[in-house]
Amino acid sequence: MADLTPLAISVLALLEERPMHAYEMYQLLVSRRNDRIVKVRPGSLYHTVERLAGQQYVRATGTERAGNRPERTTYEITPAGRAALVQRVETGLEKFVYEYPTFPVVLSEAHNLDADDAVLRLRRRVEQLEAWLAEVDETLGRARAVDVPEAFLIGGYYVRHQVAAERDWLTTTIERIESKDLEWQPREKQ
C-alpha cells in the first residue's frame, strides 16, 4: 500500500464519515480547525483527491451543480482506501519517524545572533505560541461544549501539550540566557 500524506489521511478519514465533494472536505477541515495539524489548501486538497482516485482509494459517486456554482463531484472511500487508511493509522501510531522540522535547525544556529536579539526573537515566538494555545483551548472548549467525543479530540490535545511544552522550554531558555546561566557566545563579527 502507498504511503499516505497527512492530507490524504485526512481526506480518507472524512470520506469514512460519509461521501462528500472536495470543497465540503476543505470546509470541514477548516471549520474543525484540522488546518492547524494538516497543511491544507484548496488546490492541494483537489490534487490529493485526484491522486487517491487514481490509486482507487476513493471513487466518484456523482456530480452535482447548484445554481451558478461550479460542478462538484462527490466521492466515497473504497474498501482499498479504508484498508490503506487503517494501515497508515496503525503504522503512524506505533512507529516513530523524525520529521526534520526547521525550528531545531535555526535554534541550533541561534548562537550566531547577539544574545539580546535572540531573546527578543524567542519572546516573539513565545507570544505566538501563547496565542496559538489560546486558540486551541477555545476550539477544544467549543468541541467539548457540543459533546464531541474525546477520542475525536486527542490530536488537538496532543498539539496543545506539544506547543505548551515548547513554550515552557523556551521561557526557561530565555531566563537562562538573561541570567547568564546559559553562556551565550555569538560568533565574532569580522
Whole-structure pTM value: 0.80
Angle among Cα 97, 98, 104 to the nearest 5 degrees reads 170
Per-residue pLDDT of the chain (190 residues; tens, 9 = 90+): 568 999 999 999 999 999 999 999 999 888 888 878 888 898 999 999 999 999 999 999 988 877 777 788 999 999 999 999 999 999 999 999 888 889 999 999 999 999 999 999 999 999 999 999 999 999 999 999 999 999 999 999 999 999 999 999 999 999 999 999 999 976 565 5
Calpha distance 75→95 (Å, rounded): 30
Which pLDDT score, from 0 to 100, does residue 189 have?
Answer: 57
SS (H, E, C) 146-158: CCCCHHHCHHHHH
How far apart, in Å, are the Cα atoms of 47 and each of 8, 51, 52? 10, 6, 9
End-to-end CA distance of the chain: 54
